[in-house]
Structure 1
Amino acid sequence: MGFGLLFASPVLLGYVIFVIVPIAATFYLGFTSYSVGTVPKWIGFDNYASLFSGADPFFYPAVKATVYYVGLSVPLGIILSFFLAILLNQQVAGKSFFRGVFYLPVIIPLAASSMVWMWLLQPDFGIVNYALDALHLRASRWLGDTTSVVPTLILFSFWTLGNTIVIFLAGLQGIPAHLYEAIELDGGNRLHKLIYITIPMSSSIIFFNTVIAFINGFQTFVQPAVMTQGGPNNASLLYVLYLFNEGFKSSRMGSASAISVLLFLVIMLFTAAIFYFSKSLVYYEGKEERR
């Protein structure tokens, strides 16, 4: 036991220093007025009161934009990646090539791909609008309009679905073939296979990807930071970008700490709720035997 703790102590010490201490410090600083280079001054719940009372004009727009972004990008991304994984799981020529194509964007730095797509979607000289004009289709202002900027960011979020597709693909390949053979013997078609075999047997993978997607969605930062800087008119000011601006641009670390604590609590409660309500919907192999 002593040797085990001795060998584990570097990891435990690193976890305490780099995880536990920063979390505790963030909770503490959320109750202070603090900027870098100054001594934190205890102000109680003033930071939180400022946020919820509307004294900070950016809090509610950031919450609204984030809920809009997460509420659409996550379910649409899960559905799209699941059906792409089903297509890539078929016995067709060139499937290895297409698997690589869908995963390729994942290995490109997100900041770089965001910059490229920002130029492609430029309303005045972007290639996308140029192609739409050539096809006699209506061009869009994409990132330059308050009504289209968040939908554009949602569309761009599909660019990095490669990880989700790979995880779905691994789950689909683990479904026993005899289940599909049995439903074929009963006269089932592809829709029956999807509804009665593929989706139920993939429910644990769907659950996992959904939880991860929601957590990542609430923490989206690079895309709006690079492509829009929160504009136009704060329409794409997602929550973590707002946190960054508050802490590092406005140098209000106390307020930024309170903002990050709220994000932590929302993600924790949301994840706990998903786990609670998924108990009767998610199938795990061997669950019946354990009962």
Structure 2
Amino acid sequence: MLYSFYLSLTRYSIVREPVYIGFENYANVFTRDRLFWVALERTAYYAAVTVVLGLAGSLLLALLLDQKLFGTSALRTFFFLPSLTPIVASVILWGWIFHPDIGVLNYLLRQVGIAGPGWLTSPETAMPALFIIALWGSIGGGRMVIFIAGLLGIPQELYEAAHIDGAGLWQRFRHVTIPLLTPTIFFNMVLGVIAAFSVFAIAYVGTKGGPINATYFYVLHIYNKGFADSEMGYAAALAWVFFAIIMVFTGVQFWLQRHWVHYEGSAK
């Protein structure tokens, strides 16, 4: 880790010895690297959409699978399976589905008279297509399991008391479920933000960051600088800037959680 910081202060490629240049790489990140800002904006957009929709979808699925109904255990397994699929295999599978000529999705659209786009080759649809791929593999995964565990930890006596007081389904969800589930929501949100900002494989395999940089994410930019352009020192600087960004976002989340997360036994 310390060696990577040293490399970030050098002009270094794999075939040449590191040459110390101070903080020049860091200055170039913010002043000369246009793709840095493109990658940061694309990554932030991706994170905002996938974290919000992922949390909402996982919570909704957990609520449905928390019911005491026949076959619920089998359904939990069914919805969890996509998260076990390697991300590369998932992207290849969805690449076939999204194929503009032989893909299942465009075939179905043609049956109703709609000309489907090139989902992964059009700047307008490439990012939404990656949203679908990411959410397909994450909504029913670990976040859903954590939400189910959180729901199982809520005492049933609280629901019974709220029901006796005349609270309907929505009131019980709003005033009992959500407040007691806020620590779980916060935990999933922190992990989700870190994972979303670290996105790489889904874009590298699916779009290579295109078309026209529409899906050019930050970690992909680090990879390209380090391995495609052989600028290992500059890539190390980008990685440390990325680390600082993640730490800031995580710190802000921990600061804000004091105002909305309710822990058992706290005064809030």
Matched, 1:63 2:25: no
CA distance in 2, matches of 1:168, 1:196: 17
Q: Give 2:187's match in structure 1, choosing from 197, 200, 208.
A: 208
Structure 2: give runs of 5+ residues left out of the alignment: none
Which residue type is aligned with residue 181 of structure 2? S
Matched, 1:281 2:256: no
Partner of 1:182: 161
Partner of 1:110: 87
Structure 1 pair 218/174, CA: closer, same or farther in 2 (3 Å)?
A: same
Q: CA offsets, 1:122-165, max 9 Å, x none? A: 12221111112223445232111112111211121112221110
Alignment of 1:244-255 (within 5 A): 244-255=223-234
CA distance in 1, matches of 2:63, 2:76: 11
Matched, 1:237 2:216: yes
Deviation, 1:203, is 0.3
Partner of 1:52: 30
Q: CA offsets, 1:88-118, max 9 Å, x none? A: 1112232112111111011111111111111
CA distance in 1, matches of 2:75, 2:135: 16
Secondary structure at the aligned position of 2:258 is classed as coil
Alignment of 1:21-100 (within 5 A): 23-53=1-31, 55-100=32-77
CA distance in 1, matches of 2:5, 2:258: 31
Deviation, 1:283, is 1.4
Structure 1 pair 100/184, CA: closer, same or farther in 2 (3 Å)?
A: same
Greater mean alpha carbon deviation, residues 224-233 or residues 139-148: 139-148
Deviation, 1:223, is 0.3
Which residue type is aligned with residue 27 of structure 1? F
Structure 1 pair 137/177, CA: closer, same or farther in 2 (3 Å)?
A: farther
CA distance in 2, matches of 1:44, 1:28: 9
Identical amino acids, percent of aligned pairs:
40
The answer as to whether partners of 2:91 and 2:205 remain within 8 angstroms in 1 is yes
Q: CA offsets, 1:186-220, max 9 Å, x none? A: 11111001100111110000000000000000000
Secondary structure at the aligned position of 1:187 is classed as coil
Secondary structure at the aligned position of 1:153 is classed as helix
Q: CA offsets, 1:239-258, max 9 Å, x none? A: 10111111111111011001
The answer as to whether partners of 2:90 and 2:133 remain within 8 angstroms in 1 is no
Greater mean alpha carbon deviation, residues 186-195 or residues 124-133: 124-133
Partner of 1:228: 207
Which residue type is aligned with residue 131 of structure 2? I
CA distance in 2, matches of 1:132, 1:89: 35
Aligned residues: 266
Report the aligned-residue RMSD. 1.4
Q: Structure 2-normalised TM-score?
A: 0.95
Secondary structure at the aligned position of 2:259 is classed as coil
Structure 1: give runs of 5+ residues left out of the alignment: 1-22
CA distance in 2, matches of 1:241, 1:66: 10
Matched, 1:165 2:121: no
Which residue type is aligned with residue 268 of structure 1? M
Q: Give 2:97's match in structure 1, choosing from 120, 129, 152.
A: 120
Partner of 2:250: 271
